[in-house]
Structure 1
């Protein structure tokens, strides 16, 4: 039986709004939180991008829900030794209610210091080595590491949780999914594809948790909801590798004409049809996901949480029962 959580969007909302949404999510009956980790939004219309570790510090005091980054890139913009300290402190602050979701990242966030943006296979090599560095530091012992991509000298974390921070790996293709199966404590992906879940489980993931997420736009006017998604999140419908290689929000805005309102209507749940919302989330559960996270696009957050509290989440529970 899948568990349902709320996906906080740091690209679209500022810190205070995110904390308030987390409170509403807990009150509505969501069981856990995802939070994105970006330096830039995907476009200027989204308009925000607070530092995720500051926001999580506030969340740790505001709610009692488990929290996971979805996802952090621990390879270029921030050194894995520094992220290990951030994750370990977060796990202590949340009394072990934190999982670190990691992925190979996007140029949009990671190129800002002028570093070269490597090809995909190199990014996965870097990710695997970064995980090795972080796991060493989570032990609380001194780490010295000289690898292909990272050097760590005399590093020791003094503030560490009782148990090492679990690291779940994001994957959208066979190579990343294979890495998640081999070295991850869990697997994250954004499409309800049973074949990817099966690859993860058969490749070494076994019974480790699989988590997925989706975006919706609740609203009483379906056409208005479609326009809201088209204005704020057309990037999620861009094809191929563009999401990984384009360097600025401006570049994503230049491609917005490729995404039509009809594409949004066909690919994103918009409006207030309970069955459509339930079906979108059930698709993940039916594909073998253990945790499913949903994000509400646009300003009507209170309407969304009321809708899910009174109609969608009870229906999901009834279907599961």
Structure 2
């Protein structure tokens, strides 16, 4: 398993995130993923810089770590033709280190363009069509497309990496695997679902990666860690169906108003015990994930986490 670091755009500004990216590479993380949000989940998080501009800067500031969007919705805020161009350009800037992570999106980010929020069935249809368009454009050939949701008129990417851009797609069930595995190189899933990994591997035997993500909240003071995790990440327990449909940080505040600090502490490993933090990744190990991105909750002590705890935590994760 490769261990990654999450550039959490909801909790840090762009200059801080680039600094974190460099430090994460220096302490030994294998890859870095960036969320792609227009709004934070909660007002207390307080940030939402543009992920593509950020990753362009990170590509120039780092030299070894692989980079990934985790994940971009290519259907509403971004037309798939624009996503294809962004991905090709970023891959060239990153010298082949970039993977395009795609998903069907969240109302929180996509409602801002004023086009409403489609049903899950429509969102999945749109994602499938968008993935086809992106794959065709990444060949560098002239593309014209007339679909149910998108049109592309005589489009060509003029700067395309020779090795292309690998694509990961966020999938949540067996039917998603059947639908999206033929369009993607890798699986993205934030729940440690071993059945899903096995289903995906059946389509891509020995050639695909399974990307997961787990939050932790390191702090020398366990109570301070729990308090920060509750303030910043109490939305986390709502589950995908809730998180995908609420439109604003105010909605997440209302939905999480009865979540207690002890509820968050039972779901997110908090405190100074690095063995406990590492152990919280075991479900993903047992489920067969090949890549796991760590989220350190909160900007407040992110620099200290990277300076003091991240390296030893990566070592412990590797030993598992």
What TM bracket, shorter-length normalisation? over 0.9
What's the TM-score, normalizing by structure 2? 0.95
Alignment of 1:212-251 (within 5 A): 212-239=212-239, 241-251=241-251
- Aligned pair count reads 317
Alignment of 1:34-183 (within 5 A): 34-64=33-63, 65-183=65-183
Determine the structure 1 residue equivalent to 2:312. Answer: 311
Determine the structure 1 residue equivalent to 2:273. Answer: 273
Q: Deviations over 1:89-139 (max 9, x none)?
A: 000111111000000001111111111211111111110110110111111
Alpha-carbon RMSD across the aligned residues, in angstroms, is: 1.4
Superposition deviation, residue 258 in structure 1: 3.0
Q: Distance in 1 between matches of 2:34 and 2:259?
A: 25
CA, structure 1 residues 171+307, in 2 after alignment: closer, same or farther (shift >3 Å)?
A: farther
Superposition deviation, residue 16 in structure 1: 0.4
Unaligned 5+ segments in structure 2 are none
Contact preservation (8 Å) 1:68, 1:101: yes
Q: Distance in 1 between matches of 2:275 and 2:106?
A: 34
Superposition deviation, residue 239 in structure 1: 4.0
* Secondary structure, aligned partner of 1:191: coil
* Secondary structure, aligned partner of 2:85: helix
* Secondary structure, aligned partner of 1:111: helix
Superposition deviation, residue 176 in structure 1: 2.9
The range that moved more, 117-126 or 279-288, is: 279-288
Superposition deviation, residue 213 in structure 1: 0.5
Unaligned 5+ segments in structure 1 are none
Q: Distance in 1 between matches of 2:76 and 2:311?
A: 43
What's the TM-score, normalizing by structure 1? 0.95
Superposition deviation, residue 310 in structure 1: 4.5
* Secondary structure, aligned partner of 2:100: strand
Contact preservation (8 Å) 2:128, 2:180: no
* Secondary structure, aligned partner of 1:38: coil
Q: Distance in 2 between matches of 1:177 and 1:259?
A: 33
Moved over 4 A (4+): none
Determine the structure 1 residue equivalent to 2:4. Answer: 5
